[in-house]
Chains A and B, each alone.
Chain A
Amino acid sequence: MTGRRDVRSPALGLAAPLLAIAFAALLASFVLIGAGDPVLGTFQLLLDYGQQPRSIALVLNAATTYYLSAVAVAIGFKMNLFNIGVDGQYRLAAMTAAYVGGTLSLPAGLHQAVIILTAVAVGAMWAGLAGLLKATRGVSEVISTIMLNAIATGLVAFFLRKVAVPVQGSNNIGTQPIPESGRVGGLPLVPDSSLEVFGLLPLAVLVGVAYWLLLGRTRFGFDLRATGRSQSAAVASGVDVKRMTVTTMLLSGAVAGLVGMPQLLGASYSYSLDFPAGLGFTGIAIALLGRNHPVGIAFGALLWAYLDVSSVILDIEGVSREIVTIMQGTIVLSVVVAYELVRRYRLRDEQRRVARELDQQRAADAEGVPA
Chain B
Amino acid sequence: MSTRTTGAAPVDQQPRRRLRASRAWFGAAGLVVLLSLVRVVTGADDITSAGTVAAALGLAVPIGMAGLGALWAERAGVVNIGLEGMLILGTWAAGYAGWTYGPWYGVLAAVAFGALGGLVHAIATVTFGVDQIVSGVAVILLGSGTAQYLSAVAYADVSGGGATQSPPVGDLPSFTLPGVGPALGDLEAQGWFLLSDVAGILRGLVTGVSVLTLIAVAVVVLSWFVLWRTAFGLRLRACGERPQAAESLGVNVYTMKYAAVVVSGALAGLGGAFLAIVAASAYREGQTGGRGFIGIAAMIFGNWRPGGTAAGAALFGYADALQLRRGGESVHALLLLVGIALVVVGVLLIVRGSRRAGITGMLVAVAVLVWFAVTDLVPGELTGLTPYVATLLVLGLAAQRLRPPAAVGLPYRKGTSS
Contacts and interface: CB of A to CB of B under 8 A. Distances in A.
19 contacts: A84-B137, A133-B396, A138-B399, A146-B81, A146-B296, A148-B392, A155-B382, A158-B381, A281-B137, A281-B140, A285-B137, A320-B153, A322-B145, A326-B146, A327-B145, A329-B144, A333-B135, A336-B131, A340-B130
B388 A332 contact: no
Central interface residue in B120, B143, B379, by most chain A CB within 10 Å: B379
Nearest to A324: B145
Contact of A143 (B131, B149, B297, B389): B297
B359 interface: no
Interface in A173-216: none
A139 interface: yes
A29 to B, nearest CB: 14
A247 interface: no
B148 A35 contact: no
B142 interface: yes
B142 A139 contact: no
The 10 closest A-B pairs by CB, nearest first: A325-B145, A329-B142, A322-B149, A320-B152, A158-B381, A329-B141, A333-B138, A322-B148, A157-B381, A147-B388
Contact of A35 (B137, B153, B389, B392): B153
Interface of B: 79, 81, 120, 124, 128-131, 133-135, 137-146, 148-149, 152-153, 156, 163, 290, 293-294, 296-297, 300, 379, 381-382, 384-385, 387-389, 391-392, 395-396, 399
A332 B392 contact: no
B128 A143 contact: no
Interface string A329-371: 1101100110011001000000000000000000000000000
A284 interface: yes
Nearest to B133: A82
Helix, strand, loop or mixed for chain B's interface? helix
Contacts of B141: 281, 285, 325, 328-329, 332-333
Interface of A: 31, 35, 82, 84, 133, 137-140, 142-144, 146-148, 150-151, 154-155, 157-158, 161, 281, 284-285, 288, 320-323, 325-330, 332-333, 336-337, 340-341, 344
Contact of A144 (B134, B294, B385, B392): B392
Nearest to B300: A143
Contacts, number: 131
Nearest to A136: B396
Contacts of B153: 35, 320
Given A146-B293, A147-B392, A336 B124 contact: yes
A240 to B, nearest CB: 20
B149 A326 contact: yes
Contacts of B300: 143
Contacts of B293: 146-147, 150
Given A139-B395, A332-B137, 4 more contacts: A158-B382, A322-B152, A328-B141, A336-B124
A330 B140 contact: no
Nearest to A36: B153
Nearest to B150: A322
Given A142-B79, A158-B382, A284 B128 contact: no
A147 B297 contact: yes
Nearest to B163: A320
Nearest to B142: A329
Contact of B149 (A31, A332, A333): A31
B128 A340 contact: yes
A139 B389 contact: no
A190 B130 CA distance: 39
A139 B81 CA distance: 16
